[in-house]
Amino acid sequence: MNQPDEPTEQTSIEQPDAWDQLEQIVAAGDPDAAHTFLKELPPGEDARIMAQLSETEQHEFIALLDDENAARLMESLPELQAGQLLSTLSAEQAAHIFDEMNSDEQVDLLDQLTDAQSEAILEEMDPEEAENVRFLSKYSRLCAGGLMITELLSFQETETVDDVVSDLRKNAEKYAEYNVQYIYVINADLQLVGVLRLRDLLMAPPGRKLSKMMIANPHSFPDMTPLQDLLHFFDAHPLFGLPVVDENKVLVGVVRREDVEAASEELAGKTFLRFAGIMGGEELRSLPLKTRSARRLSWLSINILLNIVAASIIAMYEETLESVIALAVFLPIVSDMSGCSGNQAIAVSTRELVLGVIRPSDWLHVFRKEFGLGIVNGLALGILLGGVAYIWKGNPYLGLVIGGALALNTLMAVCLGALIPLLLKGFKLDPALASGPILTTLTDMCGFFLVLSFAQALLPWLI
């Protein structure tokens, strides 16, 4: 929690030669140069530089840094990148760097490694710290226990303000790394019984017992509290952190706002990628081609099958299509437009679910809202595209077929798009992952069917 001593200028500076600089430093093997380089790098720039270094270069650069700076660098990189970097180090090197990190960061980084790798590092670490990390990694990343840090200040309720202040003085060194915001008061059974703000200590008479001045029965999270609830809570309360207790009400850690928000941002990033059909974890281009290709193909291959299923509808109407070839021009348009309308509805539902504005049980409310919008947009788009078809071939019936099909299909697409995420969420599935493909398959099939069956019905007037 020391104030950084970097230059005040924050606007990130384009520095084309930063990379070359770094390579020279690595080549020269000059630790001081490496530290100055890191210090003078504009914020966020480090991630970009490292992304462009080869594994060997990354390895050589890290080797130049002292453990403290290596730890800070790894913390500032996206976890995926930090994990790659870590895996290039020996277990011993890694362990030393780990000793400079907070417990939660240690756990997050080990998550990025294979069990064998992380086990090797834990072996090398200070036994007590390793013990602690093993304890924390039992928790899922997405609950209070998985997000909390165990570096906290707790005192017995029987102690006095003086006891605390003198302890703070004595351990100022050690506590410097802690985010000391609150002092937690525990009873003989290590259960949380109260909390104090540093401010309260400043303003209280030295001799007073903590039990006499603490905020009793403070708010705390059970260690299994899910991320969403933590996020909602911190949104609603301007607190920096809250104590976490186990099922016996024993104080086990502190979950900090910053970690909760970082976790939810990370989640949002993953959701964003999954929404675009990238599975099995985040993709950064520094990952090996094999992994990247696999993660993208894993759903492209599903998607192509769904596409074939949808297109099979067209195959069933080959004769109709043959006699009114113009329809072939509009099939992709109807399918694409309906897909877009549906995806908008999916996005809004996904967003409203995240904001907690709707729940799966609100499907009727959502359906009503979306049905109205579907009629308006359906008519607008149908008239537009139908008009184009009419003018192009000078045949009003063609316009009727195309416009009518698009209008109906849009209505269906927005209703489906709005409800699918609720349905998936209701079944505890990930809306971002499955909504898109399911929707487009359905809208494609339905769109092709509507266009071609309308056409068949009006065939005499179309040819």
Site string for a second copy, 248-287 (x = CB under 8 A): ---------xx--xx-xx--xx-xxx-xxxx---xxxxx-
Whole-number Å distance between alpha carbons of 454 and 449: 8
Of 335, 323, 364, residue with least CA distance to 440: 335
Q: Which of 33, 120, 168, 190 binds a second copy (CB under 8 A)?
A: 168
Whose Cβ is closer to a second copy: residue 122's or residue 263's? 263
Cβ pair 151, 102 in contact under 8 A: yes
Whose Cβ is closer to a second copy: residue 118's or residue 349's? 349
Whose Cβ is closer to a second copy: residue 124's or residue 261's? 261
Q: Which two tokens stand for residue 166?
A: 């003198």
Helix (H, G, I), strand (E, B) or coil at 285: coil
Which residues inside 319-338 make contact with a second copy, applying CB under 8 A?
A: 321-322, 325-326, 328-333, 335-337
CB of 313 to a second copy, least distance (A): 9
Whole-number Å distance between alpha carbons of 259 and 230: 10
Give the contacts of 442 (CB within 8 A, at least 6 positions apart). Answer: 412, 416
Whole-number Å distance between alpha carbons of 179 and 169: 16
CB of 218 to a second copy, least distance (A): 5
Of 111, 114, 98, 99, residue with least CA distance to 137: 111
Whose Cβ is closer to a second copy: residue 28's or residue 355's? 355
Whole-number Å distance between alpha carbons of 321 and 9: 65
b/e map 160-179, b = 16+ CB within 10 Å: bbeebeeeeeeeeeebeeeb
CB of 97 to a second copy, least distance (A): 16
Contact between 160 and a second copy (CB under 8 A)?
no
Scanning 137-246, the segments in alpha helix (DSSP H) are 144-147, 161-170, 172-175, 198-203, 210-213, 227-236
Q: Which of 32, 169, 174, 428 binds a second copy (CB under 8 A)?
A: 169
Whose Cβ is closer to a second copy: residue 46's or residue 122's? 46
CB of 404 to a second copy, least distance (A): 16
Contact between 10 and a second copy (CB under 8 A)?
yes
Q: Which of 20, 28, 68, 384 binds a second copy (CB under 8 A)?
A: 384
CA 218 to chain centre: 30
Count of residues engaged in binding a second copy, rule: CB under 8 A: 149
Cβ pair 420, 442 in contact under 8 A: no
Of 113, 146, 48, 187, residue with least CA distance to 121: 113
Q: Which of 137, 220, 395, 409 binds a second copy (CB under 8 A)?
A: 220
Contact between 207 and a second copy (CB under 8 A)?
no
Contact between 87 and a second copy (CB under 8 A)?
no
How many CA within 13 A on the CB side of residue 442? 19
Q: Which stretch binds a second copy (CB under 8 A): 22-30, 37-45, 118-126, 134-142?
A: 37-45
Contact between 444 and a second copy (CB under 8 A)?
yes
Whose Cβ is closer to a second copy: residue 120's or residue 204's? 204
CB of 123 to a second copy, least distance (A): 28
Whose Cβ is closer to a second copy: residue 160's or residue 220's? 220
Contact between 233 and a second copy (CB under 8 A)?
yes
Contact between 449 and a second copy (CB under 8 A)?
no
Contact between 293 and a second copy (CB under 8 A)?
yes
Whose Cβ is closer to a second copy: residue 80's or residue 120's? 80
Contact between 430 and a second copy (CB under 8 A)?
no
CB of 261 to a second copy, least distance (A): 4
Whose Cβ is closer to a second copy: residue 36's or residue 90's? 36
End-to-end CA distance of the chain: 78
Whole-number Å distance between alpha carbons of 185 and 204: 16
Contact between 215 and a second copy (CB under 8 A)?
yes
Give the contacts of 182 (CB within 8 A, at least 6 positions apart). Answer: 153, 195, 196, 197, 198, 240, 241, 243, 254
Contact between 138 and a second copy (CB under 8 A)?
no
